[in-house]
Structure 1
Amino acid sequence: MTVLVGVLLVRSVARLSRVVVAHRRGALAALLVGALAWGALAVSGVQVAGQAVASTPTAGLAREHVAGGWADYRDESAFGTAIADDELAGQPDLLGGLAGKDVLVVFVESYGAAALTDPDIAKGVTPVLDAGEESLGQVGVEARSGWLTSPTVGAGSWLAHATLQSGLWVDDDRRYEQLLAADRLTLTRAFSDAGWRTSFVLPAVAEPWPQGTEFYGFDRLHAGDDLGYRGPELGWGGIPDQYTLAWVWRSLLAGTDGPVMAEIDLVSSHNPWPQPPPLLPWGDVGDGSTYTCMPGCAAQGPQDVRSRYAASVGYSLESVVSLVEEHPDLVVLVLGDHQPWGQVTGDDPRHDVPVTLLAGDAEVIERVDGWGWTPGMQPAPDSPVWRMDAFRDRFLGAFSRGVHER
């Protein structure tokens, strides 16, 4: 009975700590008073029917929950202040330097620093980037690359998306939910306010996601079922990245009036990294029925997970390069969301991901010269490392008409 009472009391204290965040000061005060009283009973050794009313270990656990609740409360308050404190909100002409251009923000799933810095993995990725630099150079497209520190590793792509878009450090789900319930200038809203038609392409998503329009400000969301894919399921998301990009071109960009800004999720490089399909001529992609389930596409492929990871990232990047080679007038930001799981990187990997800006307009590249990014598609080891929440302000600053960093 004593053990049962202890367990119930611990669970009660844990539940009260969660109430702190929901009911703020009143709940926190009550929880603190209760914890102090519990601690006093534990120290005094008061007993009822020969049993201690409160034990010292349970009191310690209660103090831990109170401390956690208090930390959450303080962070919620500070993060709320950061959300509201936005010097760029309401500023005019934030994107005049990109006027008339179609802009793609392309997140490559699990494209982390390991893809370029781990020798065994890099040998499957860097040749793709080397060849991409050469082929893009032939059509007048330049590249600049750097590093961004993601707020997450292994999973949690939504935290990286929110961080890049909002200019705030969103490193847990509590902050994420708080942000999405608030009002904040996102990159998407800045483009929309400046006259771009905005879309979010999410090939692996099936459920409705109202926050995409309500918070981020996208005009339209395009989930997997909207993309018209008729081929076999290839990988975690089912739809190969080249098909997703082909759909974006023909459905969002080709023959449209006015500039388009689209954020695109590429998911062929998502765990468990099965064998990617070969890159097809763009005219052969069609509705995807051209794809066949080659050996390994339905399974995980070779046993070496690191080789599978390298092959899938290489395929995603090759798809992006090929699209820009076909359409060099695009401005494309391609980046990773986070490092892959520890089975690829080992324990405690760095949180950095590569980021590359591609543009065929020399003025676009000139506007980011002050960033110090490395020419080409591979950031140098000493290329600047920014936290991902710094990107929004730097990007908007660079492309505001007449104002760009030197």
Structure 2
Amino acid sequence: MENQMALSNIRVLDLTRVMAGPYCTMYLADLGAEVIKIEIPGSGDDTRKFPPFKNGESLYYCNMNRNKKGVTLNLKKPEGKALFKEMVKNADVVVENYRPGVMDKLGLGYDVLKEVNPRIVYAAVSGFGSYGPKHQRPGYDIIAQAISGIMSLTGEAGGGPLRTGSAIGDLVGGLNLCVGILAALNARQFTGKGQRVDVSLVDGLVSFLETNTQRYQVDGRQPERMGNRYPSAAPYDSFKAKDGEFVIGCGNDKLFALLCNQVLHRPELVDDPRYDTPVNRLANEAELKVIVEEWSTQHTIEEAVEAVLAAGVPAAPINDIPAVMNDEHIAKAREMFLDCEHPVAGHLRLNGNPVKLMDSMPRLRTPAPTLGQDNEAVYEGVFGLSPERLAELKDEGVI
């Protein structure tokens, strides 16, 4: 079918809240999956109370939950459990981010649900995963950043450890959960069975330590915080200009030669034994930075970036949020900010999806649902409940 979305044949029951889980199911929804977000009656996802707000609606919630249908269901009530099991019979994926064991206590863990539907993919993300000596510890993004080692690497030289400016632990966890779900759905094609996907925020950030663990194995020392520098290349850092700072990324000998010859006009640096190899440049990067800034401080950020790029060397301004949201390439050509109309919040600009499937492009189809917005459409239209039964469940506090 022309313009059919990549995951339009997949139905997801989304029990997640806050960020890691909703970020995963947002990806699935953007790519066309029918995502049914199931929330607690009367209160819903925690982030409905998180700022910033517009017309009383949380934009935190709106950004993470677009393209989803919204229903309410009380899983603590027997009728709610029974209804959820009926929904599982006609679903492909269940996603949750409760602390490990919560769904088992509710009688709705994977061992139960796979008997209801052997093809169900059951995906869970938590701070420490579902097994291991720390698996029962609570886990938020800052906990994952701290215990994974990422915070020990982030910050200025000589300064204290820093959390990154966005919730990278949650976001990486959500991405890993999405990858796991897609892999399990593919495996189901040849096994005929679903499986359980277990993702830990901590594991995700440990996998992002990249060369830092390798450097520790070489010399047995904790890698030092380096600010904006990079331990494998130089000059690869932020540099001062007349009106602020910008970045240059010289990742190899060829780029360094271009920088020296065409930008700094210091061709003698190319063969200088202090700078002639990546290892030597790293050993002497402090004095190399002084040399670069002798040139860059004579120019504005725009002038410096244009000169470096004209030489074929990677460079960029350090954009603030307004600059990013108005960037012609990012915001317009790549559609990384999307306009939508929310029934309560009004006009919104939401973050776009970075995955561009050129024949089945992700789309913003609907704004985030208000609490219980789609109860009737989903329970009656998708799962076949009668209006009378729906009214009974509402009176009983099940939905």
TM-score range normalised by the length of the shorter chain: under 0.3
Say which structure, 1 or 2, has more relative contact order (CA 8 Å, 6+ apart). 1
Greater percentage in helix: 1
Question: What TM-score do the two structures reach when normalised by structure 1?
Answer: 0.26
Question: What TM-score do the two structures reach when normalised by structure 2?
Answer: 0.27
